[in-house]
């Protein structure tokens, strides 16, 4: 276990690069930081944003997508340049409408698309440079976005307590997942795409079987949860499946990192790394390490240890 220090304030988001050797972090200090995990002291600082950075995600070709409360989404290419080359800037305004800031981002598995969620409930999909908008996909801020592993569907979650499944190509509603009684803060698909996990403001986690949702953009259905866990003493900020899909990680404002056995629906273990409230987490693509962001510090630890 080791600590990464440098953010001047809470670390709100984390993402591993596809090769697992680089970790991206964003925080209230308006910066995105790139950490080379082979040597914890080596990192780069990206100062594009004018307000808190709320979301980061890597595409398969190592484009870094970052979104902040400044209404801006940046695409930065780190594949060839150590310093990073800005590839694009998207502002969260349209016809004089202020979308209220970026709250979530996700990159498609094929690297051809990405999706952004805004404070006013709008979802924006960028597909090969073409923008399509889902006006008011939710009634409140879009807290979380996640693509299914096959890339055909993405999920969105919001303050409005709803989770929605969207056809990724046509941006049409496919299903609504009902059952949470408070703000839904986080989402994660299992590696096989059969399960979707969601973390809630009230400290509960739900598992949803989304394998039977038909891939028909002309239909919309309601889905109910198949399991619910309680254990966190308050807001759950992040959930993430380990690559084998048999274990789920969750973190929250009770300062703990917890691991859940998906098959038995029981908690395996819990850790308090002493980093204060845990705002975010990420699991390496190879499942060997994980990272969690707290109040100005990131902890990285070995999952096999």
The answer to the question of residue 125 being in a domain is: yes
Range in 46-50, 187-191, 241-245, 248-252 the model is least confident about: 46-50
Report the number of distinct structural domains present in the chain. Answer: 1
- The Cβ of residue 82 has, within 10 Å, a number of other Cβ atoms equal to 8
Q: Residue 237 carries which DSSP code? A: E
The answer to the question of residue 200 being in a domain is: yes
- Average pLDDT value for the chain: 87
The answer to the question of residue 230 being in a domain is: yes
pTM of structure = 0.91
The answer to the question of residue 120 being in a domain is: yes
The answer to the question of residue 270 being in a domain is: no
What's the CATH code of the domain at 227? 2.130.10.10
The answer to the question of residue 256 being in a domain is: no
Q: Which range of residues forms the domain containing residue 164?
A: 20-239
Cβ contact 53:10 at 8 Å: no
Does position 247 have pLDDT exceeding 90, yes or no? yes
pLDDT digits (tens, 9 = 90+) for 52-82: 999 999 999 888 999 999 888 888 887 655 5
**pLDDT at residue number 171:** 81
The answer to the question of residue 170 being in a domain is: yes
**pLDDT at residue number 225:** 65
The answer to the question of residue 300 being in a domain is: no
């Amino acid at each position: 276990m080791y600590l990464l220090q440098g953010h001047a304030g809470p670390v709100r988001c984390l993402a591993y690069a596809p090769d697992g050797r680089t970790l991206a972090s964003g925080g209230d200090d308006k910066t995105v930081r790139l950490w080379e995990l082979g040597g914890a002291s080596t990192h780069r600082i990206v100062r594009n944003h004018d307000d808190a950075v709320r979301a980061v995600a890597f595409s398969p070709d190592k484009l870094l997508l970052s979104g902040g409360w400044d209404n801006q989404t940046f695409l930065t290419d780190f594949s060839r340049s150590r310093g990073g080359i800005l590839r694009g800037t998207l502002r969260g305004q349209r016809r004089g409408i202020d979308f209220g800031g970026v709250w979530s981002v996700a990159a498609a598995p094929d690297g051809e698309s990405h999706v952004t969620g805004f404070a006013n409930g709008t979802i924006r999909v960028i597909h090969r440079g073409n923008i399509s908008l889902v006006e008011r996909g939710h009634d409140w801020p879009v807290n979380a976005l996640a693509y299914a592993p096959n890339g055909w569907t993405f999920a969105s979650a919001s303050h409005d307590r709803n989770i929605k499944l969207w056809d990724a190509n046509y941006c049409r509603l496919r299903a609504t997942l009902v059952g949470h009684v408070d703000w839904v803060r986080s989402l994660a698909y299992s590696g096989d795409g059969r399960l979707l996990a969601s973390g809630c403001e009230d400290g509960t986690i739900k598992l949803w079987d989304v394998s039977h949702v038909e891939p028909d953009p002309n239909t919309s259905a309601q889905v109910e949860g198949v399991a619910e866990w309680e254990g966190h003493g308050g807001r759950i900020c992040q959930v993430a499946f380990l690559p084998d899909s048999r274990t789920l990680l969750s973190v929250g404002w009770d300062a703990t990192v917890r691991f859940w056995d998906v098959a038995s629906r029981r908690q395996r273990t819990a850790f308090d790394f002493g980093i204060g409230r845990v705002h975010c987490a990420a699991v390496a693509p190879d499942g060997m390490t994980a990272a969690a962001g707290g109040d100005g510090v990131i902890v990285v630890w070995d999952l096999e240890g």
